[in-house]
Structure 1
Amino acid sequence: MSHGKQFTPYTYTTGPMAGWKVVFVLEELGLTYESVYLVFDKLEHESPEYTKLNPNGRIPALVDHKNGDFVIWESDAILLYLVDKYDTEKRLTVTDEKERYSLIQWLFFQASGQGPYFGQAVPSAIERYRKEVLRVFSVLESVLSKQEWLVGGKPTIADFSFISWNHVAINFAVKDYADVQKDYPALFSWHQKLVSRDSVKRVFAIQESLNKH
């Protein structure tokens, strides 16, 4: 079976979801892809067709057709695969050993500290989860007040991994609970620099068009 695009990412159409961070990086690296959007309400993520790709039955998963239809799942593992194999100029990753482990550290923090809690605050305004969102913001603020980016003095996949949930939290989940721009100025500035990138704007445009239907 031939594929016009190199990659097939599997994700959902709605919500920030982990699948979108993969698309941010595909766009940023200029890699060609055609997304498959699973319908959550129809439990398509639990179908035999999909669980053959991802036995965990969650999004995202990515198929690399130019690497023998290699399949990888778990969003941050996908990001590492993409930069290790296809970011030849090392634009979104780092080469220094210590910085590489710092990058992996931030990916783990995003996966364990941001994703599970930020998701619980959308759309339900549950106070304890909002407090956890602000705790994560405080961690990021403490670092970003001293440096522009998380690792290596440039935007990397560590930064990109935070975009989706931060965007929802800043604009919706904690909008009436905290003045993010005032209380977390370094985080807010960092986020604005990320969402102003052309690659991220393209992905937001895709999300908007999908959610109109």
Structure 2
Amino acid sequence: MSHGKQFTLYTHAGGPNGWKIAFVLEELGLTYESIYLDFTKGEQKAAAYTKYNPNGRIPAIIDHKNSDFVIWESGAILLYLVDKYDPEHKISASTELDKYRQTQWLFFQTSGQGPYFGQAGYFLVIHPEKIPSAIERYMKEIKRVWGVLDGVLKEREWLVGDHMTIADTAFITWNESGKGMFMMSQEGYDFEKEYPALAKWHNAMINRPKIKNLLAEKAAIAPPHH
């Protein structure tokens, strides 16, 4: 089977985790086709997709130039992409110790940011019954994660080394989601005033041309509540 693009990216128009992969593919100049699964139709749980990702979640990628290699879980995909396709370390750590630090921050994002921010969004927006204790718990977790990042970024420009890496870009979409939740739930909320170092770092990334274009694309096609 012939493919014009190197990668197929299985993703979702609004889901933050798929766009994390698109940022890196774009920054590395890799060609890909995005297939947006329709969650309302259960496409992420259908056999046509679970043959690639048995967990039935996005994202997953197929690398057609590497024997149609399939990998899922966003953190694992990001590591694969830079290990295979970023020999110049444009957006990845270059020293041995910084590679471990990069993995450390990726683990923090995938286990400490994504799930908590996602639960905050679920209880704030999607769950039919308003449960104040659950909303409070997860909104506090957003603040905790942001506090960790802001404290570290007061001391340095990027999380690892001297330039932007996947350790940084992995946080973008969930940060955007968190900002939206606070603006929705707290009138007059000022992200930049609350977390100035975090905001400076975040803004530096979302104003990069390729990332800015993808965020505009996401805004245009995302369903409500994302």
TM bin, normalised by shorter chain, reads over 0.9
Whole-Å Cα distance in 2 between the matches of residues 124 and 197 of structure 1? 32
Quote the offset at 1:179 in angstroms.
2.7
Quote the offset at 1:97 in angstroms.
1.2
Which of 193, 197, 200 is 1:182 aligned to? 193
Structure 2 length-normalised TM:
0.89
Match of 2:30? 31
Equivalent residues in 2 for 1:1-213, closer than 5 Å: 1-15=1-15, 17-122=16-121, 124-125=123-124, 126-170=135-179, 172-175=180-183, 176=186, 178-211=189-222
Whole-Å Cα distance in 1 between the matches of residues 26 and 42 of structure 2? 28
Q: Which amino acid aligns with 2:182?
A: V
Q: CA offsets, 1:109-148, max 9 Å, x none?
A: 0011100111122264311111000000000011000000
Q: Which amino acid aligns with 2:215?
A: F
Structure 1: which 5+ residue stretches go unaligned?
none
Quote the offset at 1:202 in angstroms.
1.8
Q: Which amino acid aligns with 2:29?
A: G
- Taking every aligned residue pair, what percent have the same amino acid on both sides? 56
Whole-Å Cα distance in 1 between the matches of residues 136 and 47 of structure 2? 38
Quote the offset at 1:208 in angstroms.
2.8
Q: Which amino acid aligns with 2:198?
A: L
CA gap 1:82/1:123 in 2 versus in 1, 3 angstroms = same
Q: Which amino acid aligns with 2:99?
A: R
Whole-Å Cα distance in 1 between the matches of residues 220 and 112 of structure 2? 30
Whole-Å Cα distance in 2 between the matches of residues 36 and 116 of structure 1? 23
Q: CA offsets, 1:76-98, max 9 Å, x none?
A: 10000000001121111112111
Whole-Å Cα distance in 2 between the matches of residues 64 and 167 of structure 1? 28
Whole-Å Cα distance in 2 between the matches of residues 121 and 94 of structure 1? 31
2:13 touches 2:223 (CA, 8 Å); kept in 1?
Answer: no
Q: Which amino acid aligns with 2:5?
A: K
- SS at the partner of 2:108? helix
Whole-Å Cα distance in 2 between the matches of residues 73 and 212 of structure 1? 23
Structure 2: which 5+ residue stretches go unaligned?
125-134
Q: CA offsets, 1:174-212, max 9 Å, x none?
A: 232753211210001100001001111121122133238
Q: CA offsets, 1:22-55, max 9 Å, x none?
A: 0010011111011011110111111111111111
Whole-Å Cα distance in 1 between the matches of residues 163 and 123 of structure 2? 34
Q: Which amino acid aligns with 1:23?
A: A
1:123 touches 1:173 (CA, 8 Å); kept in 2?
Answer: no
- Alignment: residue pair count: 211
Quick check: 142-151 or 194-203, which moved more? 194-203
Quote the offset at 1:6 in angstroms.
0.5
2:153 touches 2:159 (CA, 8 Å); kept in 1?
Answer: yes
